[in-house]
Structure 1
Amino acid sequence: MKRSIFIIIISSIMIATSCGDYLDIVPDNVATLDYAFKDRVRAEQYLATCYSYMPRHGLCESPGRFDDFATTYGNQNWAGFQLGWTVLKEGNNVNSPIINYWDGLRLWGGKSLWKGIRDCNIFIERLDEVRDLESYEKPVWIAEVKCLKAYYHYFLMQMYGPIPIVKENLPISASKEEIMVYREPVDDVVEYIVQLLDEATPDLPLKIDNPIAEQGRFTQAIALALKAKVLVTAASPLFNGNKDYTSFKDHLGRNFINPVEDPAKWQRAMVACKNAIDTCHAAGHALFEFRDVSLNLSEQTRLIAQVGQIVTDKWNSEHIWGYSGQGTDSYGRNVGSYNIGWYNDVYSMPALDALHIPVRVGVYVPTMKAVECFYSKNGVPIEEDVTYDYANRYDLTVTTEEDKLLVQPNVLTAQLHLNREPRFYGSIGFDKGWWYGVGRYDENQQWPINAKAGEISGPIGIERYSLTSFYIKKLSNFYGVYNQTVYVNKAWEWPIIRLADLYLLYAEALNETLASPNQEVYQYIDIIRERAGLKGVVESWSNYSRFSQKYTTQEGMREIIQRERSIELAFEEQRYWDLRRWGRAPQELNTTIQGWYYLGENNSDFYHVTSYMDMNYTRKDIFWPIRQYNLSVNTNLVQNPGW
Structure 2
Amino acid sequence: MKKIYIVLGMLSLILSTSCKKYLDQVPTDRLSMEKIFETRESTRQYLASVYTYIPDEYNQRQLQEGEIFKTYGPWTAASDEAEYTWTFVLSHLWNNNTITATEGFIGRRWKSWYTGIHTATKFITYAPSCPELSETTKNQWIAEARALRAIYYFYLVRAYGPVPVIGDVISQDTPLGELQIPRSTSDECFDYIISELRRAVNEGLVEHVSQEGNPSSEGYGRIDRTVARAFIIEAMMFRASPLFNGGNQQYAGLTNPDGTKLFPTLSDADKKARWKAAADEAASFIADYVPRFYDLQREYTNGVLDPYLSYRAATRGAYTKLSSYTELIFYRIGTSSGTMQYDRTPNHKGVNNDYKGGGALGATQEMVDAYFMANGQLPVTGYESDGKTPVINAASGYSETGKISADYKDPVSGRVLAPSNTSRMYYNREPRFYAGITFSGQKWLYDKDGAIYTDMTYSGNAGKLQGVNDFSKTGYVVRKSAPEGPRGTEDRVCILLRLAQVYLNYVEALNESDPSNPDILKYLNLIRERAGIPKYGTGANALPVPAAGQEMAKAIMAERRVELAFENSRFFDVRRWGTAEQNQNKAIYGMNVEADGDNFYKRTKVEDRVFDKRQYFFPIPQSEIDIDKALVQNPGY
TM-score, normalisation: structure 1: 0.84
| 2:454 is the alignment partner of 1:449 | yes
Q: Which residue of the other structure, out of 203, 217, 224, is the alignment partner of 1:219?
A: 224
The answer to whether structure 1 residue 368 and structure 2 residue 365 are counterparts is yes
Please point out which of 73, 76, 82 is paired with 1:62: 73
State the Cα distance separating 1:38 from its structure 2 match: 2.4
Matched, 1:187 2:187: yes
Given that residues 305 and 436 in structure 1 are in contact (C-alpha distance below 8 angstroms), is that contact kept between their aligned partners in structure 2?
Answer: no
CA spacing shift, 1:402–1:52, aligned 2, 3 Å: closer
Q: Which runs of 5+ in 1 are unaligned?
A: 1-15, 105-111, 327-338, 482-486
Shift of 1:389: 5.5
CA distance in structure 2 between the aligned counterparts of 1:188 and 1:347, rounded to whole angstroms? 39
User: SS state of the match for residue 380, structure 2?
Assistant: coil
The SS at the match of 1:517 is coil
Show the counterpart of 1:380: 377
In structure 2, distance between residues paired with 1:491 and 1:38 = 34
The offset of 1:17, in angstroms, is 10
Offset from partner CA, 1:222-242 (integer Å, 9 cap, x none): 010011111011101111132
> Are 1:462 and 2:468 counterparts?
yes
Choose 259-268 or 629-638, whichever is displaced more.
259-268
Quote the residue 2:310 is aligned against. 306
- The one-letter amino acid of 1:347's match is D
2:619 equivalent in structure 1: 625
Check whether the contact 1:304–1:423 (CA below 8 A) recurs between aligned residues: yes
Give the Cα–Cα distance (whole angstroms) in 2 for the partners of residues 462 and 472 of structure 1: 19
Match of 2:247 in 1: 242
Quick one: distance in 2 between partners of 1:490 and 1:94? 38
> Counterpart of 1:58 in 2: which secondary structure?
helix
Shift of 1:366: 0.6
Tell me what 2:528 maps to: 529
Aligned partners of 2:463, 2:535: CA distance in 1, in Å? 38
The count of residues paired between Structure 1 and Structure 2 equals: 577
- Equivalence for 2:339: 343
Q: Could you say what the CA RMSD is over the residues aligned between the two structures, in angstroms? A: 2.8
Give the 5 Å matches for 1:65-144: 65-66=76-77, 67-75=79-87, 79=88, 82-104=89-111, 112-144=112-144
Comparing 136-145 and 613-622, the one that deviates more:
613-622
The equivalent of 1:44 in structure 2 is: 44
8 Å CA contact retained: 2:12, 2:623: no
State how 1:252-267 maps to structure 2 within 5 Å.
Answer: 252-261=258-267, 262=270, 263-267=272-276
Q: What residue number does 2:562 align with?
A: 567
C-alpha displacement at 1:125, in angstroms? 1.1
From 186, 210, 214, the equivalent of 2:213 is 210
Letter of the 2:255 counterpart: K
Counterpart secondary structure, 1:64: coil
Aligned-partner SS, 1:406: strand
Aligned to 2:329: 320
Q: Which deviations, in whole Å up to 9, do the C-alpha atoms of 1:474-531 show, x marking residues without a partner?
A: 12142x12xxxxx3432111111100110111111111112x3332111001111111
CA contact (8 A) 2:311 2:432 kept: yes
Equivalent residue of 1:365, what SS? strand
In the TM superposition, what is the alpha-carbon distance from 1:146 to its structure 2 partner? 0.6
SS in 2 for 1:46: helix
CA distance in 2, matches of 1:195, 1:21: 33
Question: Is the Cα contact below 8 Å between 1:57 and 1:323 reproduced in 2?
Answer: no
What is the correspondence of 1:544-623 to structure 2 with a 5 Å cutoff? 548=544, 551-603=546-598, 605-623=599-617
In structure 2, give the amino acid aligned to 1:35: K
Shift of 1:571: 0.5
Equivalent position of 2:437 in the other structure = 428
The aligned amino acid for 2:607 is M
Offset at residue 554 of structure 1 (A): 1.2
Q: Structure 1 residues 127-136 or 560-569, which shifts more?
A: 127-136
Q: What residue in structure 1 maps to residue 66 of structure 2?
A: none
Distance 1:397 1:438, change over 3 A: closer
2:483 and 2:468 map into 1 onto residues whose CA distance is 27
Cα distance change of structure 1 residues 541 and 630 upon mapping to structure 2, 3 Å threshold? farther
Identity of aligned residues (%): 25
Aligned-partner Cα distance in 2 for 1:623–1:57: 19
Structure 1 residue matching 2:135: 3-state secondary structure: coil
Amino acid at match of 1:636: A
Distance, in Å, in 1 between the alignment partners of 2:395 and 2:12 is: 63
Q: Which residue of 1 aligns with 2:388?
A: none
1:396 to 391, 398, 402: 402
Q: Does 1:197 align with 2:215?
A: no
Decide whether the 8 Å contact of 1:340 with 1:493 is kept in 2.
no
> Does the 8 Å CA contact 1:307/1:427 hold for their aligned counterparts?
no
Cα distance in 1 between the residues matched to 2:522 and 2:594: 45
Amino acid at match of 1:415: R
Residue aligning to 1:336 = none
2:389 counterpart of 1:355 = no
Taking a change above 3 Å as real, the CA distance of residues 182 and 18 of structure 1, as seen in their structure-2 partners, is closer
Match of 2:518 in 1: 519
Asked if structure 2 preserves the Cα contact closer than 8 Å seen for 1:453 and 1:459, the reply is: yes
User: How does the TM-score come out when normalised to structure 2?
Assistant: 0.84
